[in-house]
Amino acid sequence: MSAASGVPTFRGQEGLWRQYRAEDLATPEAFARDPRLVWEWYDWRRQLIAGCRPNAAHGVIAAWSKRHGTAVITQNVDDLHLAAGTQGLIRIHGSIWELSCWGRCSQGATPWRDDRVPLDQPRCPHCGQLARPAVVWFGESLRREDVEAATSATACDVFLTVGTSAIVYPAAGLIHEARGHGAFTAEINLEATPASSAVDVAIQGAAEDVLPAVDALL
């Protein structure tokens, strides 16, 4: 969804930062071992995203979100959906623009927004301990309320999956739950994914091209 806006994809060569893979940095263990390194990476990403704007695909999704009965679930943490005006957004992996207390003090456990760039190892405003990005890292569980909201959204007539690798669960399982409810399922992606053979229609193409074309047909 956000590649056309200039946000690097999470996987692949463009997902590398220095010599590190995202999977090597987005873990509680990496943060505990070297919080400065992890924050350098997140600060680089935040500064990059701060200069990005929603693309045509975000605009279509935002317009659709205003229709009654529509739910939008995202694994992206860049908040470009919100910038485009998407309503009722379910952010199952959190937001790179929100922080929480690494020590999980009672007040700091609830994420707060911080749009500052650059941002160098911020502290919890409640207890003074180091803050962390309020995103879901590898090895961590999704928030129960987000999982419940996403699961409820699969009880639908049409389920569309856009620009996801379809390999990260539980998000990758939502398309199958929707099929189980009898939904018409479609995938839009640049290349085939594990979900391609399971959906009713698989369209290979860029989201910023395909979604406006679908919207025009509607």
What is the side-by-side strand order in the sheet with 94-101? 112-113, 94-101, 131-135
Q: Which among 58, 68, 81, 93 is annotated as catalytic?
A: 93
Contacts 24+ apart (CB under 8 A), 135-139: 135/26, 135/77, 135/93, 135/94, 135/95, 135/96, 136/92, 136/93, 136/94, 137/26, 137/27, 137/28, 137/31, 138/23, 138/26, 138/27, 139/27, 139/28, 139/29
Count of C-beta atoms within a 10 Å radius of residue 68: 4
Q: Are 5 and 55 in contact (CB under 8 A)?
A: yes
Residue tagged 């090597």 (tokens): 24
Residue 93 annotated among the catalytic residues of the structure: yes
Q: Please give the positions annotated as active site.
A: 93
